[in-house]
Amino acid sequence: MVNNFKYLGFSEPMALAMVEALKVNPYPNPRVGALLIDEQGNVKAAANHKQKGSNHAEINIFEQVQVEETDILYVTLEPCFHSDTSPSCATEIINQGVKNIVIGDIDLDIRTNGRSVSLLKDNNISVQIESNANNILNPYYENTHKKLKDIHYLLKIGMSKNDYITNDASDSRYITNEISLSIVHYLRATADCIVIGKNTLLNDDPKLNVRIPGINNIDHNPEPIIMWGGSTENIESAMKKYPTFTFLSSMPSRENNTYCDTSSLSDVEEYFLERKFRNIFIEGGKGILGSFLRDHKIDSIYEFKSNLNIENGIHIGHNYRAEIDKNYHMNNKYQLLDNLLTTYTRN
């Protein structure tokens, strides 16, 4: 299986654990994946946390295989310290004889928050950190545990070297390469919903689902949300063509349409909260992403850039770059062959 998480700096075992986590949505718990490898690097077992009240990923690993001292356990999030709602995974790791563990991120849950790492080290277990795994899998997590807000908005944008987001000279919808597209699908798999506008729907005929080897058996696809707006033209035919999409429009609620004043992002956010969406994936087009940026909703941005210039098409506009320069800081840059991924976080 091709796993392009490696382009984001992850080792192959951690990347495989992350893909395992993306197969399920254990709401309200975070997505967590685990992988056990032997000293030759062969995979002995992979597991995830399927749903609240069920075994955590580490416990599911131990139920599959016997741990040897030379094995290495990879977990996308610090094992839980507490035992109030489930057995303590940190304690079970010690009991199972694990001697080497690689953890994706420290758990911000106050019941754990570094306590498991200390406990494991105190029991002579080698602990390494491979940062950012949980941040990618559960981007809302920091907002929730720092009590900042209930929703995380993630903006994905693909553009040319000279900032065009469409190309009139090409029939392809895609400006970026296959690696960028696969990472977009990883990001989609973290989301509760994908948001696009009317024009993107009518022009691109998108599927808005997760399509990538290794997580094609995902049991939870993000819900496609179309911010249709006030016009009723063509909405009836669009609703019939895309019966699994949810339309937000000025029409009364019926079938797959929900009444919502999309000119007010406060009303849209109220809808998201009612649906218990935590990670909102904003995918386009220019009007939609501009409105969320202007309203200061976007928490993080994944900007994919090709190395080609485009002469005719839709330019992202100077306001986009001005918003980033004023309100965001750059986290990382990743070279994806001839594409560049830059990630930003709101100040």
In three-state form (DSSP H/G/I as H, E/B as E, the rest C), the secondary structure along 130-191 is CCCHHHHHCCCHHHHHCCCCCCEEEEEEEECCCCECCCCCCCCCCCCCHHHHHHHHHHHHCC
Q: Pick the catalytic residue from 12, 20, 39, 58.
A: 58
Instruction: Show the tokens assigned to 131.
Output: 């940062």
Whether the bond between 28 and the residue before it is cis, its omega within 30 degrees of 0, is yes
Q: Is 146 exposed, middle or buried (0-12, 13-18, 19+ CB in 10 A)?
A: exposed
Tally the C-alpha atoms within 13 A of residue 43's C-alpha that lie toward its C-beta: 14
Instruction: Show the tokens assigned to 194.
Output: 């994908």
The Cα 113–Cα 304 span in angstroms is 33
Whether the bond between 9 and the residue before it is cis, its omega within 30 degrees of 0, is no
The Cα 244–Cα 319 span in angstroms is 34
Residue 93 φ/ψ region, left for φ over 0, alpha for ψ in the -120 to 50 degree band, beta for the rest = alpha
Place of tokens 């090409």: 170
Place of tokens 């997590």: 141
Q: Is 58 a catalytic residue?
A: yes
The Cα 78–Cα 74 span in angstroms is 10
Count the Cβ atoms, other than its own, within 10 Å of residue 326. Answer: 8
Q: How many residues does the chain have?
A: 347
Segment (H or E) for 14: helix 12-22
Segment (H or E) for 34: strand 33-37
Nearest CA among 38, 42, 80, 40 for reference residue 59: 80
Residue numbers annotated as active site: 58
